[in-house]
Amino acid sequence: MLDNPEGQSRQAHYHRALESLYPGAVHIVNGRYQSRKVRCTQCGHEYTRYEEKETDVNIATALVSDAALNLMDTAIIMSADSDLAPAVRAAKSIRSTLFVTAAFPPRRSSAELKNLMPASFRIGRSKIVQSQLPDQFEVDGQAHERPEYWR
């Protein structure tokens, strides 16, 4: 979506729609992207590559913070990023009764997270498709529509 104003607009619209449809239940925390120049080793062509930054740190911070503030008794982490393992261990040490599980996205898994959270499971692509927002809906008189690009 970087260098793509239309994509950024669609993403912002989607975020507003989620927050409107589920007030108080959805809190969006954005990471950031960092650009770097990369040179093809075969042809020498130089191009910009974007790397996502801070998402795993934001998830880890929220998990430990919510555990410490006693804001949850269950956490489901939709990720296969084993970098989250220390945060899971920390949250469980803060609240020994905390139930944490990982929901692995399609074609992703982590043996470390699965060992740490034996109740982890895989989410199939069909479940993700079924969980998308409707094509059109209204919240508090404001119309929202999924972009055609996402259908």
Q: What is the pLDDT of residues 66-78, one digit of tens each?
A: 999 999 999 999 8
Total tally of structural domains belonging to the chain? 1
Look at residue 99 in the predicted model and tell me its pLDDT: 95
Chain centre to alpha carbon of residue 122: 15
Look at residue 2 in the predicted model and tell me its pLDDT: 63
Alpha carbons 17 and 147: distance in angstroms, whole number: 12
Give the start-end residues of each E strand in 30-135.
32-39, 46-53, 74-77, 99-104, 121-122
Q: Please report, for the domain that includes residue 135, its CATH number.
A: 3.40.50
Beta strand 136-139 with 99-104: parallel, antiparallel or unpaired?
A: unpaired
pTM of this structure: 0.73
Write out residues in the chain with pLDDT < 70, as ranges: 1-3, 149-151
Residue 109 DSSP code = -
Q: Provide the domain limits for residue 49.
A: 5-150
